[in-house]
Amino acid sequence: MAFAAFATGTAKEQAPRRKSRIALLLLLPGILYMMLFFLVPLVSLVMTSLQAPVEFGDIGEYETAFRWENYVVAISTYGEHILRSFGYALMATIFALLFSYPLAYFIGVKARPWPLLQKLMLVMVIAPFFISFLLRTLAWKSLLSDEGFLVSSLKALSLMAPDAHFTGTGAAVVFGLTYNFIPFMTLPLYANLERLDTRLVEAGGDLYARPATTFFKVTVPLSMPGIVSGVLLTFIPAAGDYINASPQFLGGPSTAMIGNVIESNFLVTNNYPAAASLSIILMAVILVMVVVYIKRSGTEDLL
């Protein structure tokens, strides 16, 4: 949704105007702000990622250098975390898509005759946004803990081994990521499906396509822009998240994602260059994946 909003063609093409002076005045403060607190920090991050420790200095003291091996070190030390991050994020994105598509389809297409119901269901979709991200994750931690109702009943029914856990496992982290980013997936899907021309679906049926065929040949391709937006909006924050994977929340000692590593290097061990180079790697991989994904799904005009 947010991505589609940057599409170039607006509904109403407007006549050209040239009053660059006013445009400049309008743009200048905001753009300066973004330069100063987004672009410069990125540059600063790149510089930090190449720093070398000060000789005989304290922990956390670094000086400007061009130590490209920082990246090599980061990848060799944390390669596992990087892969795990993208693996978890990918799984969470797929689960969120599978969860959200039917829901968005129901709200956006089937519930059309009842606009008020549509609105209420939408409010319920975004409701998790209004309760603290951390608290709702902690709520799942309690609900899914070994003492919790779910796990203890599963154990009582011998569906789970008595010494097995759910929290602290990779599955729990993927579950948490999926839950937390479902609204990011559902909303763009809804926004797209809500405008789906049902006559096209009927035309599919009219042209001898069975419902399943119509769905995959007509509905899904038409909703591609919504899917692309939803996937990006889910994947990007999921890949960089470190709440769900944190041992205090749903993760355990062996679930650390790249975000956890960046956080601990930056804020705990003060190893700024490592944290910075990992951040750059994360951002670069995400940008490459986003561009490739958008190109392949044929919705370049989204950017």
Partner 1 sequence: MSTQEARILSEAVTDRTATARRGRIGFGSWVLPVYAFVALVFLAIPIAYTFVFSFNDALKSNVVWRGFTLNNWTNVCAKIEVCEAFGNSLVIGVVATVIATTLGTMIAIALVRYRFRARSQISLLLFLPMATPEVVLGAALAAEFLTAGVQKGIGTIIIAHTMFCISFVVVAVKSRVSTLDPALEEAGRDLYGSPAQVFWRVTFPLLLPGIIAAALLSFALSFDDFIITNFNAGTTSTFPKFIYISAARGIPAEANVIASAVFFLAIILVLITQISAEARRKRLEKEGK
Partner 2 sequence: MATGSFATSGADLELVGIQKRFPGFTAIEHLDLVIPAGSFFALLGPSGCGKTTTLRLVAGLEDPTRGSILIGGEDVTHRKPFQRPVNTVFQSYALFPHMTVLENVAFGLRRRKMAKPLELAQEALELVELEHLASRKPTQLSGGQQQRVALARAVVNRPALLLLDEPLGALDLKLRRQMQLELKSIQEEVGLTFLHVTHDQEEAMTMADTVAVMNKGRIEQLGAPEDLYELPHTAFVANFLGQSNLFTGPVLEATSHAIAVEVAGTRVLVPKARARKHSGEVTVGIRPEKLRLLTEAPPTTAGVNTLGPGTVTDVSFSGVSTQYQVDVPGADSVTVFAQNLDFGPVVTPGTEVWVSWKVDHGFGLEDSASEEAKFAPELDTATIAVQAKRDLAAELEVS
Kind and range of the H or E element at 53?
strand 52-53
Q: Is 13 left (phi over 0), alpha (psi -120 to 50) or beta?
A: beta
Choose among partner 2, partner 1, none what residue 272 binds, the Cβ cut-off being 5 to 8 Å by kind.
Answer: partner 1
Site string for partner 1, 56-95 (x = CB under 8 A): ----------------------------------------
Q: Which does 50 bind (CB under 5 to 8 A by kind): partner 2, partner 1, none?
A: none
How many Cβ atoms from other residues are within 10 Å of residue 295's Cβ?
A: 11
CA atoms within 13 A on the CB side of 124: 10
Part of the chain binding partner 2 (CB under 8 A), chosen from 10-18, 49-57, 151-159, 166-174: 10-18
In whole angstroms, the minimum distance from the beta carbon of 23 to partner 2 comes to: 11
- The rounded distance, in Å, linking the Cα atoms of 215 and 222 is 10
Window contacting partner 1 (CB under 8 A); options: 71-79, 155-163, 196-204, 254-262: 254-262
Phi, psi of 52 (to 5 degrees): -120, 150
Q: Is residue 18 involved in binding partner 2 (CB under 8 A)?
A: yes
Tokens of 209: 């396509």
Residue 13 found at the interface with partner 2 (CB under 8 A) = yes
**How is residue 265 written in tokens?**
């290097």
The span of 8-16, 160-168, 206-214, 282-290 binding partner 2 (CB under 8 A) equals 8-16
Q: Is 21 one of the binding residues for partner 2 (CB under 8 A)? A: no
Residue 48 binds to partner 1 (criterion: CB under 8 A): yes
* Residue 137 binds which entry of partner 2, partner 1, none, CB below 5-8 Å type-dependent: partner 1
User: Which residues touch 200 (CB under 8 Å, ≥6 apart)?
Assistant: 218, 222
Examine residue 14 and tell whether it contacts partner 2 (CB under 8 A).
Answer: yes
Q: Residue 14 or 158: which CB sits closer to partner 2?
A: 14
- Is 158 or 236 the residue whose CB approaches partner 1 more closely? 236
Within the chain, residue ranges assigned H as helices are 20-34, 40-49, 69-105, 115-126, 133-144, 149-156, 170-193, 198-206, 211-214, 220-222, 224-240, 258-263, 272-296
Least separation in angstroms between residue 8's CB and partner 2 is 10
- Asked if residues 195 and 259 have their Cβ atoms less than 8 Å apart, the reply is no
Q: What residues numbered 108-147 form the site for partner 1, per CB under 8 A?
A: 110-111, 114-117, 119-140, 142-143, 145, 147
Query: How many residues sit in the footprint of partner 2 (CB under 8 A)?
Result: 5
Q: Is 260 within 8 Å of 81 (Cβ atoms)?
A: yes
16 lines the binding site for partner 2 (CB under 8 A): yes
Residue position matching structure tokens 């920082």: 70
With CB under 8 A as the contact rule, the residue among 5, 6, 11, 15 that binds partner 2 is: 15
221 alpha-carbon distance from chain centroid:
22
**Part in contact with partner 2 (CB under 8 A); list of ranges 13-21, 71-79, 147-155, 290-298:** 13-21
- Nearer CB in complex with partner 1: 73/103: 103
Q: How many residues bind partner 1 (CB under 8 A)?
A: 104
The residues facing 53 across adjacent strands are 62
Place of tokens 């956390």: 60
User: What is the contact surface with partner 2 in residues (CB under 8 A)?
Assistant: 13-16, 18
